[in-house]
Amino acid sequence: MSLEILSPVSGKTTAMTEVPDPVFAESMVGPGLAVLPSGGRQDAVAPVDGTVVTLHPHAFVVATEDGRAVLVHLGIDTVKQKGEGFTLHVVKGEAVRSGQPIVGWDPDAVAAAGYSPIVPVVALDAKADVLSGLLTGGDVEAGDPIFTWDN
């Protein structure tokens, strides 16, 4: 069954290899795409329908009914901001719909604090060959499709 993965933020898509963190760049946790967010305060939205199984101010995971999970990481090393500038809109364990706001944040503030605001969107524990239609170098709005996960 194919699962359409939506962009959690507005911006420009880029290859995961462009993420300035080896865990993401080398797809250690799974393949996917990254989005360089457009500036200004915005809400990061759920990339799929499912349940919020992990929730931090800087990152979240939504798991689908069939067990696939998508990680969204808001910036690199943003855990060091200890939640400052991030606003949670949901709680862990909550059922969400794709496109639903999960975390409010400001990519410009992340960059001003000295961190990369790039947003990796990862198909956790997947093999690269199950992803298709990866939109690289495209302008997207939050909620636009960025790749398909086939299983």
Q: What is the pLDDT of residue 151?
A: 80
Q: What is the pLDDT of residue 39?
A: 85
Q: Which CATH class is domain 3-129?
A: mainly beta
Tracing tokens 């009914």 back to the chain, one arrives at 65
Q: What is the pLDDT of residue 32?
A: 98
Domain boundaries, the chain: 3-129
73 labelled catalytic: yes
pTM: 0.97
Is there a contact between 151 and 1 (Cβ–Cβ < 8 Å)?
A: yes
The whole-angstrom separation of Cα 48 and Cα 136 is: 19
pLDDT average per 10 residues of sequence, the chain (151 residues): 96 97 96 95 98 98 97 97 96 98 97 97 96 95 97 80
Q: Which of 56, 58, 73, 89 is catalytic?
A: 73
Q: What is the pLDDT of residue 56?
A: 97
The whole-angstrom separation of Cα 25 and Cα 42 is: 25
Q: Which two tokens stand for residue 141?
A: 């709005």
